[in-house]
């Protein structure tokens, strides 16, 4: 059986830091409310004109450099995003061109904040089916470009960033094996997290629609309850499938949405919250970029050891959820 895994990682966040206090100067909110309800203290926001493909290219270049290969060594590019440069063409095609990945196919994957988790399993399947030798997978998001800045319930939650990984066979290459993934969807939650207008369901009509209809809309309470359940279910299922105890997990790397969601899930699983890595206080919710941003930081902080069980778990628009179990 082929062993497939992550052989390099690279990340990028925009330079501009925006604190909660700065947001409080723009709208009726406060650092105290945001920290106590979410754990977020600041986020990165793109410069004017900076798009998802720009962040993705930076992150991808770092990953390729760390792996010691060129763009021409990649034969598939997947960009997981809910904030692409355009509805079409795919952001992955723009990245492919900018990197000079001349022999790569490219497509975007839409699974909301679970995008990275879905794309890791997609990449593994491509490699193990022999359809690609090396997949470059990038979670890249500029959620601040689609947030409704008049809606304090949602806009304070998001930030921008990108994280890239190379996924390939571990035959002769050092890396971190993808042992198992679990992917699920509950489309009954269609309206819980949605950009309702401009698709074929409701084409944009300037007589009927406002700017807010084109932006992200969220039922925060509903997503919160779903998210806690999703984390618990995913961790239990993946551990059971692999025959390991939940206590055997060295690290859980959750989608970085809200500290309270993570604390509630930890409590239900009777795990210490410290087992869950978090950096959302500095980046807020970067959707499909949040898990690779967290893993990259864990590597920088020397937190990961060979042989450890590391579980990534995501949840988001769809509603989608799922996880990847990785042997570090
Ligand atoms: O990737 C998945 C993305 N989505 C999420 O992660 C969202 C999941 N949901 C959540 O994280 C939480 O539901 C929120 C953080 C969005 C809200 O927290 P909550 O504890 O469920 O707050 P709430 O909805 O009960 O609102 C409490 C109050 C309301 O005031 P009233 O109606 O009680 O007077 C809100 O208007 O807080 C008010 N509020 C704010 N106040 C100051 C809502 N947003 C803000 C704000 N600043 N930014």
Mean pLDDT of the chain: 97
Ligand 1 atom with the shortest distance to the CA of 29:
47
Q: Is 301 a catalytic residue?
A: no
DSSP for 225-285?
Answer: HHHHHHHHHHHHHHHHHHT--GGGEEEEEE--S-HHHHHHHHHHHT--GGGB---HHHH-B
- Sequence-distant (6+) residues with CB within 8 A of 191 are 217, 219
Decide: 120 and 178 in contact? Cβ < 8 Å. Answer: yes
Q: What is the distance in angstroms between the CA of the first residue and the CA of the last residue of the chain?
A: 18
Burial class from Cβ neighbours inside 10 Å (0-12, 13-18, 19+) for residue 87 reads exposed
Decide: 66 and 8 in contact? Cβ < 8 Å. Answer: yes
Q: What is the pLDDT of residue 8?
A: 98
Q: What is the pLDDT of residue 46?
A: 98
Q: What is the pLDDT of residue 109?
A: 98
d(CA 39, CA 14): 20
- Using CB distances shorter than 6 Å, the residues near ligand 1 are 29, 33-34, 37-38, 113, 152-153, 156-157, 218, 220-221, 223-224, 257-258, 285, 316
Q: What is the pLDDT of residue 7?
A: 98
- The fold of 178-327 is Peroxisomal Thiolase; Chain A, domain 1 (3.40.47)
- The fold of 4-174 is Peroxisomal Thiolase; Chain A, domain 1 (3.40.47)
DSSP state of 255: -
* Mutation test residue for ligand 1: of 29, 112, 147, 153, the one with most atoms within 8 Å of CB: 153
Residue pLDDT tens, the chain, 328 long = 899 999 999 999 999 999 999 999 999 999 999 999 999 999 999 999 999 999 999 999 999 999 999 999 999 999 999 999 999 999 999 999 999 999 999 999 999 999 999 999 999 999 999 999 999 999 999 999 999 999 999 999 999 999 999 999 999 999 999 999 999 999 999 999 999 999 999 999 999 999 999 999 999 999 999 999 999 999 999 999 999 999 999 999 999 999 999 999 999 999 999 999 999 999 999 999 999 999 999 999 999 999 999 999 999 999 999 999 999 9
Q: Write down the residue that tokens 């959620």 correspond to.
A: 143
Q: What is the pLDDT of residues 249-273, one digit of tens each?
A: 999 999 999 999 999 999 999 999 9
Supply 216's token pair.
């992200």
CA-nearest of 7, 65, 2 to 328 is: 7
Q: At what angle do helices 115-128 and 290-300 cross, to 10 degrees?
A: 80
Q: What is the pLDDT of residue 192?
A: 98
Q: What is the pLDDT of residue 1?
A: 82
Residues in the chain: 328
- Sequence-distant (6+) residues with CB within 8 A of 39 are 258, 259, 260, 278, 280, 281
Q: Residue ranges of the domains in the chain?
A: 4-174, 178-327
Q: Is 113 a catalytic residue?
A: yes
pTM across the whole model:
0.97
Q: Is 255 a catalytic residue?
A: yes
- Sequence-distant (6+) residues with CB within 8 A of 205 are none
* Residue whose CA lies nearest to ligand 1 atom number 41: 29
Catalytic choice (113, 148, 176, 239):
113
Please check whether the two domains, 4-174 and 178-327, share a CATH topology.
yes
């Amino acid at each position: 059986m082929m062993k497939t895994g992550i052989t390099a990682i690279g990340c990028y966040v925009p330079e501009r830091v925006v604190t909660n206090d700065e947001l409080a100067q723009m709208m009726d909110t406060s650092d105290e409310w945001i920290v106590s309800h979410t754990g977020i203290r600041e986020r990165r926001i793109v410069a004017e004109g900076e798009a998802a493909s720009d962040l993705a290219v930076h992150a991808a270049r770092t990953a390729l450099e760390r792996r010691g290969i060129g763009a021409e060594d990649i034969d598939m590019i997947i960009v997981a995003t809910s904030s692409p440069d355009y509805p079409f063409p795919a952001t992955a095609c723009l990245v492919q061109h900018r990197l000079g990945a001349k022999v790569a196919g490219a497509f975007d994957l839409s699974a909301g904040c679970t995008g990275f988790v879905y794309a890791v399993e997609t990449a593994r399947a491509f490699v193990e089916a022999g359809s690609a030798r090396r997949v470059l997978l990038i979670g890249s998001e500029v959620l601040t470009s689609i947030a409704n800045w008049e809606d304090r319930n949602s806009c304070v939650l998001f930030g921008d960033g990108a994280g890239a990984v190379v996924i390939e066979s571990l035959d002769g290459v050092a890396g971190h094996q993808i042992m198992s993934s679990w992917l699920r969807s509950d489309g009954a939650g269609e309206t819980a997290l949605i950009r309702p207008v401009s698709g074929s369901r409701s084409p944009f009509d300037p007589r009927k629609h406002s700017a807010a209809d084109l932006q992200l809309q969220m039922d925060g309470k509903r997503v919160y309850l779903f998210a806690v359940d999703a984390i618990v279910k995913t961790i239990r299922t993946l551990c059971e499938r692999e025959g390991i105890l939940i206590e055997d997990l060295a690290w859980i790397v959750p989608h970085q949405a809200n500290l309270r969601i993570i604390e509630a899930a930890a409590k239900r699983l009777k795990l210490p919250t410290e087992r869950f890595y978090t950096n959302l206080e500095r980046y807020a919710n970067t959707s499909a970029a949040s898990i690779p941003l967290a893993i990259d930081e864990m590597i920088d902080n020397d937190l990961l050891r060979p042989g450890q069980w590391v579980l990534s778990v995501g949840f988001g628009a769809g509603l989608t959820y799922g996880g990847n179990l990785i042997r570090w």
